Amino acid sequence: METKYIFVTGGVASSLGKGIISSSLARLLLSRGFRVTIQKFDPYINIDPGTLNPYEHGECYVTIDGHEADLDLGHYERFTNVNTTRANNITTGRIYQNVIDKERRGDYLGKTVQVVPHITDEIKRNVKLLGNTGNFDFVITEIGGTVGDIESLPFLESMRQLKWELGSNCICVHLTYVPFINAAKELKTKPTQHSVKQLQELGIQPDILVLRTEKDIPTAMRRKVALFCNVSPDAVIQSIDVPSIYQVPVNMHAQHLDEIILKKTNTPYEGEPNMSQWMKFIDMMNKAKDTVTIGLVGKYVELQDAYKSINESLFQAATYNNVKLVLKSFQSEKLNDNNVEETLKDMDGVLIAPGFGPRGTEGKFSAIKWCREHDVPTLGICLGMQCMVIEFARNVLGLEDANSTEMNPHTPYNVIDLMEEQKSISNMGGTMRLGAFDCVLKPDSLVAKAYGKTEISERHRHRFEFNEEFREQFEAAGMKCVGENPKTHLVEVVEIPSKKWFVGVQYHPEYGSTVLSPNPLFISFVKAAIENKKK
């Protein structure tokens, strides 16, 4: 079949969950046997979000091919179980960079280079890139930002042109917000009407409206929205707040979102989507009664989206272990040897978060020391793993002031040091060790047991690494290097076998954990935390 293009735009406010709606729609179409991918177009000028700090843009997600991506790509993968790549995340910066490169090469043959048609053509070329591979029946394109933003105009203009060129092979799903005004005790549709008007002024008629709401929107009100917005009444659906994002595909299907899309794009279909595996997960999620309490120690814990993939991986792992996740977050900066016991004593397991720079690392050392001495299941990820190594060096090996050269370039014991190939790099963007790398695990290790195999591939995002020179000293004292890269021999996993569950990984297992295929390391960690709780 010809590739169909579905655009997802947002109106009224940001943070309405376009990523979740796009992902849910993809889930439903995949469950009907279609081949689907989702891409995100972000209107900001950064080339990618790799240089944005979490206060700006939440977590930076990493694809297998080493692209530092918007966190929505994490949702896409968690819902679809399909890997994304660099091609799935485009920014204004990248569009302009491509156009400017072409201009410098002389590709435009002396023409004046303009937003229309040159920028819009480049956007359209990128929209169709994945579709043109022939690998997908549906390409869902989420446009970041909100309709009405100055910076999203070229994207919306490109979308208008594509709708015109592709006819029924291209449709627009517009997500808006219907606020409940408490003083009047009423839901209000005016903002939705205005945001649709704004789209129409740009020449775009949305085909489907998804209304985000905290309260049930009566049918009569939905009909009114349909009438005012030129949308068929069955294509005005609501997305009401639910306790878990994983419930959203089920709610969308209950209102026939998938069927409406298939009809509007003239796609032949029959029967119902096969959601049995997904429903099994929802069922486990709803049935779980016992709890497991995990402490997350990190620098950005006050930000809801800073550790998105870690939170979701823990949630998935808890669900597969038939328990409810209670996640307690602790700001590493506030932790020290005096308050750590009081803070962490009720945790069944502790996760030491990834990060950059010295802020909060001393608190991480206090947390790790306490967990190690009290044999609490502990998982260190990336900087978390590096902190485990440093803490061990200081407090077990007696190497005073041991550190990473990232935190202290003059440390006498550089147990974590800059990777050789990083030493000549000066640009910050896209230059870390990024993407999926193979790792070979020692057969008798805890991690090998967790994964059920000795050859794995996981994603990375770092510049520093375990310093090989100290390997023997660590191993002799009980911290084993149990995973390494088969080509470069970089140490990727450390563990202390004499402890119940004490593992540090240089890679990010959280990026590869999905609902249908949860990451085994998280499953094993949460299981250990549950066993720890019982004792």
Give the whole-angstrom CA distance, residue 217 versus residue 337.
52
Q: Does 299 bind ligand GLN (CB under 6 A)?
A: no
Give the whole-angstrom CA distance, residue 457 versus residue 448.
13
Stretch that binds ligand GLN, among 21-29, 100-108, 297-305, 456-464 (CB under 6 A): 456-464
Minimal distance, residue 383 CB to ligand GLN, in Å: 3
Q: Does 463 bind ligand GLN (CB under 6 A)?
A: yes
**Angle between the N-to-C axes of helices 219-229 and 190-201, in degrees from 0 to 180, rounded to the nearest 10:** 20
Stretch that binds ligand GLN, among 130-138, 182-190, 261-269, 350-358 (CB under 6 A): 350-358
Q: Which residues of 416-448 are buried (b: 16+ CB within 10 A; e: fewer)?
A: bbbeeeeeeeeeeeeebbbbbbebbbbeebbbb
Specify which residues 473 forms β-bridges with: none
Stretch that binds ligand GLN, among 37-45, 121-129, 446-454, 455-463 (CB under 6 A): 455-463
Annotated active-site residue 165? The verdict is no
Stretch that binds ligand GLN, among 271-279, 297-305, 328-336, 462-470 (CB under 6 A): 462-470
Q: Does 406 bind ligand GLN (CB under 6 A)?
A: yes
Minimal distance, residue 382 CB to ligand GLN, in Å: 3
Figure out which of the listed residues 199, 383, 415, 493 binds ligand GLN, where binding follows CB under 6 A. Answer: 383
Residue found under tokens 């799935």: 88
The sign of the dihedral angle between the CA atoms of 102, 106, 112, 117 is negative
What part of residues 265-294 is at the interface with ligand GLN (CB under 6 A)? Answer: none
Q: Does 462 bind ligand GLN (CB under 6 A)?
A: yes
Minimal distance, residue 268 CB to ligand GLN, in Å: 46
Specify which residues 294 forms β-bridges with: 327, 349
Q: Of 68, 77, 465, 510, which residue is the catalytic one?
A: 510
Nearer to ligand GLN, 207 or 510 (CB): 510
Minimal distance, residue 85 CB to ligand GLN, in Å: 20
Specify which residues 351 forms β-bridges with: 296, 379
Figure out which of the listed residues 11, 43, 295, 355 binds ligand GLN, where binding follows CB under 6 A. Answer: 355
Q: How far is CA 466 from the centre of its chain?
A: 26
Minimal distance, residue 384 CB to ligand GLN, in Å: 7
In this structure, are residues 157 and 116 in contact, taking their beta carbons and an 8 Å threshold?
yes
Q: Does 308 bind ligand GLN (CB under 6 A)?
A: no
Figure out which of the listed residues 136, 300, 464, 522 binds ligand GLN, where binding follows CB under 6 A. Answer: 464
- Taking CA atoms, 227 is separated from 191, 202, 208, 246, in Å, by 15, 19, 13, 31
Minimal distance, residue 416 CB to ligand GLN, in Å: 7
- Taking CA atoms, 509 is separated from 20, 66, 311, 312, 455, in Å, by 21, 14, 12, 11, 14
Nearer to ligand GLN, 312 or 406 (CB): 406
Q: Does 131 bind ligand GLN (CB under 6 A)?
A: no
Helix (H) / strand (E) containing 482 = strand 480-484
Question: At 48, which amino acid appears?
Answer: D
Figure out which of the listed residues 382, 402, 491, 529 binds ligand GLN, where binding follows CB under 6 A. Answer: 382
In this structure, are residues 528 and 291 in contact, taking their beta carbons and an 8 Å threshold?
no
Q: Does 354 bind ligand GLN (CB under 6 A)?
A: yes
Q: Of 60, 170, 371, 382, which residue is the catalytic one?
A: 382
Annotated active-site residue 374? The verdict is no
Phi-psi region of 58 (alpha: psi -120 to 50; beta: other; left: phi over 0): left
Figure out which of the listed residues 222, 372, 461, 480 binds ligand GLN, where binding follows CB under 6 A. Answer: 461
Nearer to ligand GLN, 157 or 391 (CB): 391
Kind of pairing between the strands at 180-181 and 186-187: antiparallel
Minimal distance, residue 356 CB to ligand GLN, in Å: 4
Annotated active-site residue 382? The verdict is yes
**Three-state SS string across 261-293, please?**
HHHHCCCCCCCCCCCHHHHHHHHHHHHCCCEEE
Minimal distance, residue 14 CB to ligand GLN, in Å: 26
Residues in touch with ligand GLN (CB under 6 A): 354-356, 382-383, 406, 461-464
| Catalytic sites, residue numbers | 382, 508, 510
